[in-house]
A and B are shown apart, each in its own frame.
Chain A
């Protein structure tokens, strides 16, 4: 049995992405390098032979998925109605969580200007986000983050596949840090704290003062007095 055959068998039987590490568990003789070689070989074989499926990198792993051009044929068999597409509010909220995780509900609501509790529930039900901890702030509110299923749902290899801030047409990077948390540059984190946390606190404490530096100072003192 060749390594690439073993890897192929495991991938064939799986309905979710598997990492190279997980694939290597199939046999004692396999290590991650073998698996990587096997994956490259399989990928090339499928492409060369013009198979109807591809070896697809997804959520940090690999999965055999059909090529998009075959979707119309497969969808004829899909007699279970599925609501795969997310609503506008859900997508906006998810975008905020993806870039700002871990993040609490009040901060999401401040950024979008609307209530978020219903949308959070929907996203949790669909396993796209999960509770990742609690903030140190007043009331120790829950913090949310995206899940591996989030990457799978959008076909991302990793968080790096999210649009980078410099790709976006609106330029305000100095003031609005917007980048995948996984990059985690210290500078960005600092900016987040100075820019976002005061904003959220301000929203907590004084909903009627939302205008820049003066209000931020005011909010700090108010928070202490609460």
Chain B
């Protein structure tokens, strides 16, 4: 048990701060107070212990009703016992001692604590002996590597790789004629009039500026979404090819479909 108590001088009852979170509960704390001060458990000085207990729980987090409630309940019990101790006792000392039930509980709890430590040791011993199946089976892997499917991230990364000259003039300029997606769509369709496929980078020939790259790419996605084009990329970061769809592209349309959905979101 890692019980630390900002050690009070036993005679100084005024100063005693305990981190209640370090204790398993009020009985644990109470036992700690009794055992660290060598108090005879069958003759607990209730007044002194009650004062110490109340001091110890001063820092309780009032928001933690469950945790705090348990300590407060014990505090109430202690105060109740303290009050009873002031009353004249019946002749039968043994039964009449108001502390009897608390002492019984403390000793019982101490015994449980001892047993739980024995259990902990037994658990540690047992955990070093292993039966069949302790070592897990190897993770199952597909025998053949599946062909790479192009993902949106990869397509986007390839698009960003297209070299865009850094503009010398970095000041922001409002242009009267922004690049439109429509003109880029026309550009793509024109390029595909003469061949069944075209590289993305080729479409960028003669254009400068990021907006051209982005709009060409978006136009490609939009046309793909409408089923006019297919986008294809063999490896991550490799060239992006744009296919005319009516040609019957030698490729399964699955990756393109995925891009369609993503493209529509953009």
Contacts and interface: CB of A to CB of B under 8 A. Distances in A.
Contact of B120 (A54, A91, A99, A210): A91
Contacts of B162: none
B80 A111 contact: no
B130 A111 contact: no
Contacts of B77: 208, 210-211
Main secondary structure of the interface of B (DSSP, over half): helix
B24 A112 contact: yes
Contacts of B98: 211-212
Interface stretch (A37-45, A134-142, A151-159): A151-159
Given A95-B119, A155-B125, A64 B25 contact: no
A66 B130 contact: yes
Contact of A71 (B25, B102, B112, B130): B130
Interface in A134-174: 152-156, 161-163, 165, 168-170, 172
A161 B125 CA distance: 14
B133 A15 contact: yes
What size tier do the contact residues of chain A reach?
35 or more
Interface stretch (A1-9, A25-33, A75-83, A182-190): A75-83
A92 B116 contact: yes
Nearest to B27: A113
A211 B115 contact: no
A156 B25 CA distance: 29
Given A78-B136, A94-B116, A208-B80, A85 B127 contact: yes
Interface string A99-119: 100000000001111110000
A89 B119 contact: no
Given A178-B111, A210-B77, A113 B122 contact: no
A213 B93 CA distance: 11
Interface centre among B66, B113, B124, B132 (most CB of A within 10 A): B132
A88 B112 CA distance: 11
B111 A176 contact: yes
A153 B125 CA distance: 10
Interface residues of B, number: 53
B123 A114 contact: no
A156 B122 contact: yes
A154 B122 contact: yes
Contacts of B123: 84-86, 91, 153-155
Nearest to B81: A211
A68 B111 contact: no
B25 A113 contact: yes
Contact of B136 (A79, A152, A169, A207): A79
A96 B112 contact: yes
Interface string B11-44: 0000000000000111110000000000000000
Interface centre among B66, B77, B101, B112 (most CB of A within 10 A): B112
B134 interface: yes
A78 B117 CA distance: 26
B61 interface: no
Interface stretch (B51-59, B68-76, B178-186, B230-238): B68-76
Contacts of A15: 131-133
B261 interface: no
Contacts of A212: 95, 97-101, 104
B136 A80 contact: yes
Interface of A: 12-16, 54, 56, 63-68, 71, 74, 77-80, 84-86, 88-89, 91-92, 94-96, 98-99, 110-115, 152-156, 161-163, 165, 168-170, 172, 175-176, 178, 195, 199, 207-215
